[in-house]
Structure 1
């Protein structure tokens, strides 16, 4: 049993690491094409971001691997594979529930990480990326990586979700995590500046967090920032959004 759990954890760590390299590498390539020279002179910083991120991938993989083993071997979780097990309307609702719960967890733990002592001990690693690049999304100190690694594995014990919908959640988490750190805005101006952009977080919003530190703590949505008075609007490269 111990060997099986260890193998599952290592396999999940490898999957998270490969997912990071593919996603961040893809967006880094897009940056090279769309914003040539934007990362010039940041080679050493990007090397550090990759090293910290691969260490984070190992940490993310451990609870994910344990949960995956428990699901397959003992049915521990509330992940289901039969799409008829729940009403079809629940599929998109479950995705929204997971994103909302993850966003809530992220907002409050992220804001907590900005307390001076915790910032110096852990979160400063992430903010050492100045400016952030497409490789910075998982560039965390191990203590911070641990806070992020437990949330989705915990949710699968609480909220039913189809395995395909869980894949959608993980895809959104990966894409938004990477794209929000690219240093330029890939979404069109009408979305970023419009009503939808008023509630969704994109790179233009998250860049201001990396510039000012004391605002814009959310991951997917601006709900908690708006409610708690920590939303300070958009960053300074909105003009780079596609028309």
Structure 2
């Protein structure tokens, strides 16, 4: 059998996994939104259908490099993914998770700023910002060119930074949960957390919503580090005045 066949099958399998992960996470947070803020997505069904459509295309794009990497790890041992938790000191497991998150956040911040250059924005990133307001279904609603910039990050990192397979699963779970929760239009974390030390450094829906409102600030994915360092952090603002951000948000 040609080596291309298992690679293609691996890519298709990973695309399916990404799509199912997206559907489950987004559906879960959308259901929570309906329970807590019943009318928040009222009248947005056409928009949500577009978000789902773009997201499923993105899932296919994300799955291709992930599938190639999965095949290379299992069949050729190409990557730095390891399965023996004692191959490195136990303290390295959380360190590797933070390293991946910071590296991903760094790539996202700078590629995201680039996506806001007018010509690039019109060609690709406008698809994501067409969600007004963003919903729990919008986290992967990207133009294919933008999806490609996001799809290569984690697959590239597994060739560079050793990581336990369970730690990698944790990174992917955090990526999915934060991506969905930061777009769902209301703040699920309590005021003391968002306004306290945790919210000072971590991005939640309150912080990211301001990016969707003003476009020229709050570009980060997980952390506020690069926004603060580069002067693009405009904080949390007062979303009680924003009709699209629920008045009960923790701001």
* 1:204–1:238 Cα contact (<8 Å) kept: no
Tell me what 2:28 maps to: 26
Tell me what 1:220 maps to: 222
Query: Could you tell me the TM-score, scaled by structure 2's length?
Result: 0.95
Tell me what 2:210 maps to: 208
Tell me what 1:83 maps to: 85
1:240 to 232, 243, 248: 248
Tell me what 1:198 maps to: 200
Structure 1 residue 240: Cα displacement: 2.2
Runs of 4+ displaced beyond 6 Å = none
Structure 1: segments with no counterpart, 5+ residues? none
Tell me what 1:123 maps to: 125
- 1:36-80 deviations in whole A, cap 9, x for unaligned? 110000000000000000000000000000000000000000000
Tell me what 1:71 maps to: 73
Alignment of 1:137 onto 2:145 = no
Structure 2: segments with no counterpart, 5+ residues? 240-244
Rounded Cα–Cα distance in structure 2 between residues aligned with 1:146 and 1:231: 26
Structure 1 residue 228: Cα displacement: 0.2
Rounded Cα–Cα distance in structure 2 between residues aligned with 1:238 and 1:227: 29
Query: Could you tell me the TM-score, scaled by structure 1's length?
Result: 0.98
Tell me what 1:41 maps to: 43
Rounded Cα–Cα distance in structure 2 between residues aligned with 1:31 and 1:8: 34
State the number of aligned residues.
243
Q: CA RMSD in A?
A: 1.1
- 1:183-215 deviations in whole A, cap 9, x for unaligned? 000011110000110110000000000000000
Rounded Cα–Cα distance in structure 1 between residues aligned with 2:144 and 2:33: 28
Rounded Cα–Cα distance in structure 2 between residues aligned with 1:11 and 1:172: 21
* 2:185–2:246 Cα contact (<8 Å) kept: no
